[in-house]
Amino acid sequence: MNGVGVPLVTPFDEDGDVDETALRELVAWVETRGVDFLVPCGSNSEVELLTADERARVVEIVAAETDLPVLAGTGSPGRRETLLATEDAADAGADAALVVTPFYYDHSQAALEEYYREVADAAPLPIYLYSVPAYTGVALEPETVGRLASHPNVAGMKDSSGDVASFIQTKRATADADFELMVGSGSVFAQALDVGAAGGVLALANVAPEAASDVYETHATDPAAARERNAGLVGLNEAVTSEFGIPGLKWAMRERGAPAGRVRSPHQPPDEEAKAAIAALLDEL
C-alpha cells in the first residue's frame, strides 16, 4: 500500500441499489489513470449506508476487477462486527483491511489500543489503523499508534486528521517498525510525503487521479514542484470533501466522465451553487 490509493466511491442507481456495472467501470477508470491501490468501503464509499452483504459484494467486485492491491474498509463500532466484515473481505479477495476507530461511544486511548490488538490477533488479513476524527470524534494519538506498530499483524495507518504536526509525531513514534503511514487528506499530501509518508488514500484521487499521482511521482525527484502542484489542488480537495462532501465528489466525478453513480439517501445531490463552484475548480485542472 504505497503511492496513491483511491477511497473508491460506491455507485448507486436511480433506485438506490449498488450499480455493479458502474462499479466495474469505475475500477477501470481510476486504474488506467495511474493510481497504485484501491480502497473500497471507506468513508467516501458511503460505507455506513451499506449493508454487511453489500460491503462484501463491493469488495468482491473490486478485487475481481483489478490487479492492484485492495485495502478494504471493514471497521464498525464493535469488534465482532469488524471481524466478521474482515473475514468477508478476505473471502472476497482483499489484500488488507482498513479498520476505522470505534465510534458512537467514547473510548479511551487504552481501550482503543486493546481493541486494535484484539482485532489484529484474530484477523485473517493485515490490519491498517484508520483515524478520521471528522467523522468519529476520536483521533488515535501518536503514542498509541507507536505501541500498536510493533504488532506483527498491524501493517500501517491512514491518518485523515489533516494535522501535519500529529502526522510527524506519529511518523517518529513508528520509525523503528515495519509500518506504512499514509495520509488521508489531499490538501497536505506533499507535506506528508516530505516527512516520510508511504503514500495517501485521497478522496481527491476519485476525481483527479492523474493529478494526485503526479504529486506523488514528482515528489520523488522534485519535492518543491510537488508541493506547488499540491497547492493548486487544495481548493478542489476541500470542495469535494469538507465543503460539499460525497454528493459534490460524485458530481465532480461525473463531470470528468467517471461512472460515479448517484448518492444514497439521506445524501442529496448538490445544488446549483455548489455545482458552479466545483465546475470552476475542475476548469483549473
Q: Which residues are catalytic?
A: 130, 158
Q: For residue 21, what are the CA distances in angstroms to 92, 99, 151?
A: 17, 27, 39
Enclosing H/E stretch for 258? none
In contact, 51 and 89? CB cutoff 8 Å: no
Q: What is the spatial distance between Cα 88 and Cα 60, in angstroms, rounded to a whole number?
A: 9
Q: Count other C-beta atoms under 10 Å from residue 268's C-beta.
A: 8
Separation CA 206–CA 65 (nearest Å): 17
Calculate the CA 97 to chain-centre distance.
11
User: How many other CB atoms sit within 10 Å of the CB of residue 2?
Assistant: 14
Q: What share of residues in the chain are helix, strand, coil (percent, to 5)?
A: 50, 15, 35
Residue 103 dihedral angles phi and psi, to the nearest 5°: -130, 180
- Which residue is it, cell 467517471? 258
DSSP class of residue 241? I
Distances (CA, A) of 123 to 86, 161, 193, 227: 7, 25, 29, 37
Residue 244 identity: F
